[in-house]
Amino acid sequence: MMNWIWLFFILSSVIISIFNGKIGDVSNAILSSAQSAVTICIGLVGIMALWLGLMRIAQQSGMIDCIAHFLSPLLKRLFPGVPKNDPVQADIALNISANALGLGNAATPFGIKAMEGLKRLNPNKPDTASDDMCTFLTINTAGVQLIPVSAIAILMAVGSENPGEILLPTLITTFSALCIGVIFVKCLIKLSPNPGKKK
């Protein structure tokens, strides 16, 4: 669906530019934007590689397991359907950590692995998402960012003089989104019938 929406925007802008005699400006904008996109991507590669490497080291050294153990009381309240010391706790902690570092799309594989673990524990499978799956999706979407690495890297790539000034606003907005999202999903869980529970 999104592909069709973007196609509509592109075609409509080209058609309008033809009628307005601005097709040359559109062509120049397309070429300059493509060049800027490549520049930004190259700038992101180094930073993303660094943080992903650190995340891999943390995972293999057992640090993520320690973080999961430290967060286990909170995770148990957020995900009551996950048994204690289940491997999915480490996957959830890894995804939360990646999001906290602002790795953006790099956190997606960790989120997919965590969701697969929650699906394994899903009492409603395969046709209905469990309460834990909905909660994790909400937390993952809010994505509290302590250090918005990707955003800072993009600002640096486009020549921002003070890319770090977004730290506090990003923390406030993402933390607010997390709190509101978790409150809403927990309220909906309370109000909605759960086919996986015995009445």
For residue 56, is pLDDT > 80? Answer: no
Range of the domain at 68: 28-191
Q: Of 67, 143, 56, which is closest to residue 105 (Cα–Cα)? A: 143
**Degrees to nearest 5, angle at CA 92 with 183 and 117:** 105
Q: What is the band of 105 on the pLDDT scale with cuts at 50, 70, 90?
A: low
Q: Is residue 83 part of a domain?
A: yes
- The answer to the question of residue 10 being in a domain is no
Task: Write down the pTM of the prediction.
Answer: 0.66
Domain-embedded: residue 23: no
Could you give the number of structural domains in the chain?
A: 1
Cβ atoms within 10 A of the Cβ of 140, count?
21
Q: For position 183, what pLDDT does the model report?
A: 92
pLDDT at 149 exceeding the cut of 80: no
Query: What share of the chain in percent tops pLDDT 90?
Result: 6
The residues, ordered by sequence, that sit 6+ positions from 197 with a Cβ below 8 Å of its Cβ are 123
